[in-house]
Amino acid sequence: MTRCIWVLVFLFITGTASSQVQTSPSQTQSIDYAQPQQYKIGGITVSGANFLDPTAIISVSGLKVGDEITVPGEDISRAIQKLWEQGILGDVEVFITKIEGDRIWLNFSLKERPRLADYSFSGIGKSQADALKGKVPLQKGKIVTDAVLNSTRNAIRKYYNEKSYLNAKVNIKQSPSTTLPNSVVLDITVDKGDKVKIGDIEFVGNEAFSDKKLQRQLKKTKEKRFYKIFTSSKFQKDEFENDKEALISFYNSEGYRDATIVSDSIYRISDDRLGIKITVDEGNRYYYRNITWNGNYIYDDAYLSRVLGIEKGDVYNQQELEKRLTYNPTGGIDVSALYQNDGYLFSNIEPVEVAIVGDSIDLEMRVTEGPQATINKVTVSGNDKTSDHVILRELRTLPGQKYSRDDLIRSRNELAALGYFDPEQIGLAPVPNPADGTVDINYSVVERPNDQISLSGGWGGPIGAVGTVGLTLNNFSTRKLFNLSEWRPIPSGDGQRLSLNVQANGKYFQSYSLSFTEPWLGGRKRNSFTVSLFKTVRRIPNSELDQRLNVDGASISLGRRLNWPDDYFYMNHSLSYNRYKLNNYQLFQGFDNGVSNSISFVNTVGRSSIDNPTYPRRGSQISLSVNLTPPYSLLSDRKDQYEYIEFNKWMFDASYFINLAGNLVLNARAHFGFLGTYSSDEEIGPFERFKLGGSGLGGANIFVGTEFIGLRGYDDESVVNNDNPTLRSAGGVAYDKFVLEARYLISPNPAATIYGLAFVEAGNNFGSYERFNPFKLYRSTGVGARIFMAAFGMLGFDYGWRLDTLPGGENDKRGMFHFIIGQQIR
């Protein structure tokens, strides 16, 4: 026992750190370390804490005034350990500052870890450094702990691992800050090394399928090959795990229900190549044997089996079985839909394997039909702009009706067809109430901009540049016109359509059009009403004469939804009047002065069942349109055949969409058009003809009702077979066209829906029926892209490559670009 400074050193296994407990130099009371004594803490102080709260430090230590501790003993050791585990201290010393009787006073002397003043990256470019700043857990002013440094290294390595830099090295150097006390500056040096690609993927244990077949099931894990230009071969652990699951799903879909991955290993081939070895146990291949039904009373076994569509001896596929029971992706009926479309929302079908004999499986379909569900409440949420009644009138799920899954899906398609909402985010939420046998349905929508403004310029041939200003309000409201509070900036929300378009080139060309559509005339039935007006003035530039053409027109139309043959059919009736006034203006040979009148009645019958107007994945569109004028030539002898224009025009369009896989869609289209007169003695005039070729965008001759049809790979309006030089430029009297187009959705974003496409198409245009041959076609192929922006509509381009040569066009170029504006079925 001595009267000197006693030092107790407690060594903790915490990396490289050590902590000490000492007596203060002013402390003279003896401590017998051979005989531990009990003390009561009389006080605790903290020194060396510049940024940390002393009260918090004492709290973390677990000691407080009044606690009884043993000195020497484990109490102070545990307190130091708790402080050290926080990772915010560089050193901890505990001093005994005073002892009076059985009371002891302690002082925790701390050395704080430095704080981060700044950090920088070296060894990499600025763009990568900026990207890493959002990923590393570094924040100025925060304590630099070992955990922070390790997390920083791991975040950087992960960033480069995802980019196939598996050899990336990270070194972090700490330097004292020259501006802030107890702070450091980190210099993070990154050596990313070479990219590491997958050099080889090997399978072991596979007998039913080749390595190549199995490699194709790994969607994100691919070998590096010189010919795989657009295929990524970088290794990503998360994607590899997903691909292994996809591999087992493939085996299951082929009947190997017991297939497993026994092991997988990743090994180095070289510094920049790695190999993957996957060992599989395929197990046996199983087949369906007997399928029985139990609990079904509404439908008999034979009918349910036909709907299920699985025969004895078919390969056992659990995923396909679930689809046929609960959801048929091809759009056909499935067993669950059979019940749910008849109101049996609470029905359930559970397939149970009741026997496995060799390679055959017997299934029992245990059916719980339950009661029919009645719709109770129907609500809509998310429509900030569109009025509730505009949405509710489109729905086919009405309170009091039997629940039907088809009606639910059809209602979603109807909402998507409005164009007011993002079709990818229309939500359907049936909420069953089993207690009373009802169901509540909530539709959620996300509004998207759908008004369109167009500002464009173009070259109008001899009249020069033409400017266009257009405004289309697709969700207009006349009801709110006189309510100033609804002008934000225009009254909207009632689903009406108002369109105004102006084209002009000074005094040589002006065109004005105005149209208004009410989609639910009267508000009770889906009867659309449209009225439109237009006026065109065209003059010949640099002419000594006043060569002028005035065209005035108006139309009124009424459309309605039909219930037969089914409620996808619709019918439109339209009455139009066009007046052409010529003053020294040669519209065609022999007619340069006078007035022509066109009164026509257009009747269109069509059917549309597509699921999305912007990017359809399934469904079809078909329409037959007949445009008729009065049969003047049959009613009287006409001296002037152009005073009242006579024609009958027949047009047929069909489009069919097939969802091949995910976002890949195949679209097949066919189009026909025929123009004729009522009398065989009457010559078909230049009005309402067809022009084929190019992008299908109309030129400056829209005043004669010309139909412009695209044929990519050929010049605009270039395809016509006509022996009459006078009418060659007027177009044809019959055309046909066929298109096969593969589309792939790149971005479903409603602000800019983007998809790419590849096409083959063929068509021809005939100047007379004597030359008509539907099998003589001019063919082309190519690729393109479309961008749908709500404010501008459909924009896009195609590159078409013609496969045939037009008469006299031997020197025409083979390939050409086409720019597309607007959604066109033809």
CB atoms within 10 A of CB 681: 7
Which of 101, 80, 103 lies closest to 92 in space, CA to CA?
A: 80
Q: Are 98 and 104 in contact (CB under 8 A)?
A: yes
C-alpha 348/C-alpha 365 separation (Å) is 10
Please report the DSSP string for 690-731 in residue order: EEESBT----TTGGGTPEEE-BTTS-TT-B-B-S-HHHHTT-
Q: How confident is the model at residue 458 (pLDDT cuts 50, 70, 90)?
A: low
* 8-state DSSP, 520: S
Question: Which range of residues forms the domain containing residue 631?
Answer: 493-719+744-757+777-821
Share of the chain above pLDDT 90, in %: 49
Q: Are 675 and 730 in contact (CB under 8 A)?
A: no
Residues 547, 640 within the same domain? yes
Residues 341, 234 within the same domain? no
Residues 638, 609 within the same domain? yes
Residues 673, 802 within the same domain? yes
Helix/strand/coil (H, E, C) string of 209-246?
A: CCHHHHHCCCCCCCCCCCCCCCCCCECCHHHHHHHHHH
342 lies in some domain: yes
131 lies in some domain: yes
Helix/strand/coil (H, E, C) string of 313-377?
A: CCECCHHHHHHHHHCCCCCCCCHHHHHHCCCCCCCEEEEEEEEEECCEEEEEEEEECCCCCEEEE
Residues 258, 296 within the same domain? no
Residues 751, 694 within the same domain? yes
**411: buried, middle or exposed (CB in 10 Å: 19+, 13-18, 0-12)?**
buried
Q: What confidence score (pLDDT) does residue 421 get?
A: 92
Q: What confidence score (pLDDT) does residue 702 get?
A: 47
* β-bridge pairing 348-357 and 360-368: antiparallel
1 lies in some domain: no
Residues 680, 540 within the same domain? yes
Residues 680, 599 within the same domain? yes
- Structural domains counted in the chain: 6
Per-residue pLDDT tens digits for 731-751: 899 999 999 999 999 998 877
Q: Which residues contact 399 (CB under 8 A, 6 or more apart)?
A: 375, 376, 377, 378
Residues 659, 524 within the same domain? yes
Residues 337, 398 within the same domain? no
- Is the pLDDT higher at 167 or at 453? 167
Q: How confident is the model at residue 724 (pLDDT cuts 50, 70, 90)?
A: low
2 lies in some domain: no
Range 260-286 average pLDDT: 93
* Amino acid identity, position 355: A
Range 601-617 average pLDDT: 93
Which of 333, 343, 329, 344 lies closest to 303 in space, CA to CA?
A: 333
Which of 401, 403, 400, 428 lies closest to 414 in space, CA to CA?
A: 428
Range 445-456 average pLDDT: 82
Which of 590, 463, 454 lies closest to 537 in space, CA to CA?
A: 463
464 lies in some domain: no
Q: How confident is the model at residue 765 (pLDDT cuts 50, 70, 90)?
A: very high
Phi first, then psi: give them for residue 756, nearest 5 degrees.
-100, 165
Last residue of a domain, one of 57, 82, 112: 112
* β-bridge pairing 89-100 and 68-71: unpaired
Q: What confidence score (pLDDT) does residue 141 get?
A: 80
Examine the pLDDT at 725 and tell me if it is beyond 70. Answer: no
476 lies in some domain: no
Residues 108, 119 within the same domain? no
568 lies in some domain: yes
Range 212-235 average pLDDT: 85
Last residue of a domain, one of 68, 90, 112: 112
CATH code for position 431: 3.10.20.310
Range 25-53 average pLDDT: 71
The CA distances from residue 306 to 298, 310, 339, 497, 792, in Å, are: 15, 8, 14, 47, 48
- Is the pLDDT higher at 695 or at 286? 286
37 lies in some domain: yes
Q: What confidence score (pLDDT) does residue 331 get?
A: 56
Examine the pLDDT at 9 and tell me if it is beyond 70. Answer: no
pTM over the 0.85 mark: no
User: Burial letters for 783-801: b for 16+ Cβ neighbours within 10 Å, e otherwise?
Assistant: ebbbbbbbebbeebebebe
Q: What confidence score (pLDDT) does residue 329 get?
A: 56
Residues 23, 99 within the same domain? yes
Which of 527, 355, 495 lies closest to 419 in space, CA to CA?
A: 495
* β-bridge pairing 753-766 and 778-789: antiparallel
Q: What confidence score (pLDDT) does residue 301 get?
A: 95
Q: What confidence score (pLDDT) does residue 32 get?
A: 62
Examine the pLDDT at 181 and tell me if it is beyond 90. Answer: no
Range 35-40 average pLDDT: 82
Per-residue pLDDT tens digits for 619-640: 999 999 999 999 988 888 777 7
Per-residue pLDDT tens digits for 775-806: 999 999 999 999 988 667 788 889 999 999 98
Per-residue pLDDT tens digits for 534-583: 999 888 877 777 888 899 999 999 999 999 999 999 999 999 999 989 88
Last residue of a domain, one of 406, 422, 444: 444
CB atoms within 10 A of CB 816: 20
Examine the pLDDT at 330 and tell me if it is beyond 60. Answer: no
Q: What confidence score (pLDDT) does residue 24 get?
A: 52
